[in-house]
């Protein structure tokens, strides 16, 4: 598939997406919520392919939060079934298209067969050098930050870490995203205006794009428009624009 005419130099290095709106998409069509999740998986495929085609370096998708376990068991079971289907059906394409897939989140609660699929997908794509595709699965930013703090506290108690050496940069090395640049752009579909416990530490200076489009309706064209609009933003990271101090 030919690459889009988007200039790679204009793209953010890392785009993270909160994929929201599956249930409302289904309700608008008088369909069960499960139908919305099925449509949402199709949108995942479309957006991953678009990210590959435009040459994006890093894409992170919020697939299942640590709070999503509170949903009705039938819905959770359906979501787990969709994850199984994705790993069975899509990893071959990721391998062929030079995508490296990784999963961040708490793996202790995953079913054994899903854990095997995750590890297999990561192993099969580990040497790929194209898009870094990260799924946040059973992920919660507060849980991630607490785990990092707990591990450092234990290391300090054992005399293996001097607390005075803990800087923001050092702390970031203990997060699950330590191999990734912080997201430049966080996109949330579905009309809500919040981060919902997603990449809270990493998003300190991220640009935010809140879209009314429900996730199953989020098209390749809208994705490309959203990431290219990022190039029009001025990122100062707490500084001021040169003309403001002239």
Separation CA 152–CA 167 (nearest Å): 12
pLDDT band at 231 (very low <50, low <70, confident <90, very high): confident
Strand partners for 219 = none
Strand partners for 188 = 18, 210
How confident is the prediction for the chain on average, in pLDDT? 93
Going across the sheet that includes 185-188, the strands are 100-104, 132-139, 58-65, 14-18, 185-188, 207-210
The residue extents of the domains of the chain are 15-230
For residue 213, pLDDT over 60 is answered with yes
For residue 236, pLDDT over 60 is answered with no
**Residue 53 designated active-site:** no
- Number of Cβ within 10 Å of residue 137's Cβ equals 22
**Residue 182 designated active-site:** no
Please write down the HEC assignment for all residues of the chain. Answer: CCCCCCCHHHCCCEEEEECCCHHHHHHHCCCCHHHHHHHHHHHHHHHHHHHHHHCCCEEEEEEEEHHHHHCCHHHHHHHHHHHHHHHHHHHHHHHHCCCEEEEECCHHHCCHHHHHHHHHHHHHHCCCCCCEEEEEEEECHHHHHHHHHHHHHHHHHCCCCCHHHCCHHHHHCCCCCCCCCCCCEEEECCCCCCCCCCCCCCCCCCEEEECCCCHHHCCHHHHHHHHHHHHHCCCCCCCCCHHHHC
* Average pLDDT estimate for 24-38: 97
For residue 239, pLDDT over 70 is answered with no
Catalytic one of 5, 10, 20, 138: 20
pTM: 0.91
For residue 237, pLDDT over 70 is answered with no
For residue 124, pLDDT over 60 is answered with yes
Question: Position of tokens 């001097």?
Answer: 162
Catalytic one of 5, 10, 22, 68: 68
Contacts of 63 (CB under 8 A, 6+ apart): 19, 83, 135, 136, 137, 139
Q: Which top CATH class is 15-230?
A: alpha beta
Q: What's the confidence (pLDDT) of residue 59? A: 98
Distances (CA, A) of 182 to 162, 186, 202: 25, 10, 5
For residue 2, pLDDT over 50 is answered with no
pLDDT over 90 percentage in the chain: 88
């Amino acid at each position: 598939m030919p690459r889009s005419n988007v200039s790679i130099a204009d793209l953010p290095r890392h785009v993270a997406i909160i994929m929201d709106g599956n249930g409302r998409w289904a309700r608008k069509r008088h369909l069960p919520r499960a139908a919305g999740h099925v449509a949402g998986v199709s949108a995942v495929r479309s957006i991953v392919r678009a990210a590959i085609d435009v040459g994006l370096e890093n894409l992170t998708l919020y697939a299942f939060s640590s709070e999503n376990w509170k949903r009705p068991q039938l819905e959770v079971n359906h979501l787990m079934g969709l994850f199984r289907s994705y790993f069975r059906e899509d990893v071959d394409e990721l391998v062929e298209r030079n995508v490296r897939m990784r999963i961040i989140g708490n793996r202790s609660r995953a079913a054994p067969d899903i854990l095997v699929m995750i590890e297999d997908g990561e192993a099969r794509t580990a040497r790929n050098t194209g898009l870094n595709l990260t799924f946040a699965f059973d992920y919660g930013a507060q849980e991630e930050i607490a785990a990092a703090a707990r591990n450092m506290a234990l290391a300090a108690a054992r005399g293996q870490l001097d607390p005075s050496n803990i800087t923001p940069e050092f702390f970031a090395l203990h997060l699950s995203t330590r191999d990734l640049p912080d997201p430049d752009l966080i996109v949330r579909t579905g009309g809500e205006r919040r981060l919902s416990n997603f990449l809270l530490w990493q998003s300190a200076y991220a640009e935010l794009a809140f879209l009314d489009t429900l996730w199953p309706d989020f098209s390749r064209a809208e994705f490309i428009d959203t990431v290219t609009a990022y190039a029009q933003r001025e990122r100062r990271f707490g500084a001021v624009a040169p003309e403001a101090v002239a």
